Amino acid sequence: FVTSEVAAGFGAAEVTARATVANDGAAPAIFDLEQTILGPDGRSLATRTLTGLTVAAGERTEFTTVLPVAQPALWSVETPQLHRLVTVVRAGGAEVDRYETPFGIRTLRFDPDHGFFLNGRRVTLKGVNLHQDHAGVGTAVPDALIEFRLRRLREFGCNAVRTAHEPPSPAFLDACDRIGFLVIDENRLMGTSPEQLGQLEAMIRRDRNHPSVILWSVGNEEWRIEGNILGARITAAMQAFARRLDPTRRSTVAISGGWG
């Protein structure tokens, strides 16, 4: 999980990298954890190494590293600059695991009087509600067709998408990151059962490193619970749950009626 805090004036950023290391072996593991940020041009911008770490057999532990980045290239609609966090686990001097995480450095802010701000600049969301299907292919949408569709929408002046009405494919969010689309990432089922919260958790954990995602939507048009206390309580519980998994974004819910 990669998050960033950008200084006033955007001259520097602090990137916080949280990595969970699992030990599937039968004995305690001793290892070093190296994390490196690569800029949009592939150059190394910062590296930190944690040494002498341990994880007990059958356990998993989260480790946190803070890396400074000077003069960060910000991700935006016009210039969707992407960085990569390279996480390497070494044991006994040998590399035993490597994971690369694309991410973007940017700031989000919603103002009740003035709207949405990206990197301190007000941006009007001009968007569509996009189902993940297409003529001729159904829901098995090829990656190239996803990119074609987004680029056509950009020609129409579109800069935002609400995914309808389930988590989108990873390829879709990758394309939004590259092209510079803003995304409201939508969960399928509303509720507070372990299964329903588990589905919301899986979506947030999977998608929270995408800079294109600016909001979580916890559900869509659940008419029976719109405009009543049951819906208000379920929504509040789901929003609080989402906030614990990702404190960097707010969450909404798609409501079509029932206001009374």
With residue 119 as reference, give the H or E element that holds it.
none
Identify the bridge partners of residue 4 per DSSP, sorted by sequence position.
15
Residue 69 and residue 38 in contact, taking contact as beta carbons nearer than 8 Å: no
> Residues in the chain, how many?
260
Task: Answer yes or no: 221 catalytic.
Answer: yes
Residue 213 and residue 254 in contact, taking contact as beta carbons nearer than 8 Å: no
Preceding omega of 165 cis (within 30 degrees of 0): yes
Sign, Cα dihedral of 109, 112, 115, 121:
negative
DSSP state of 257: S
Which residue in 78, 186, 221, 222 is the catalytic one?
Answer: 221
Q: Please list the active-site residues.
A: 221
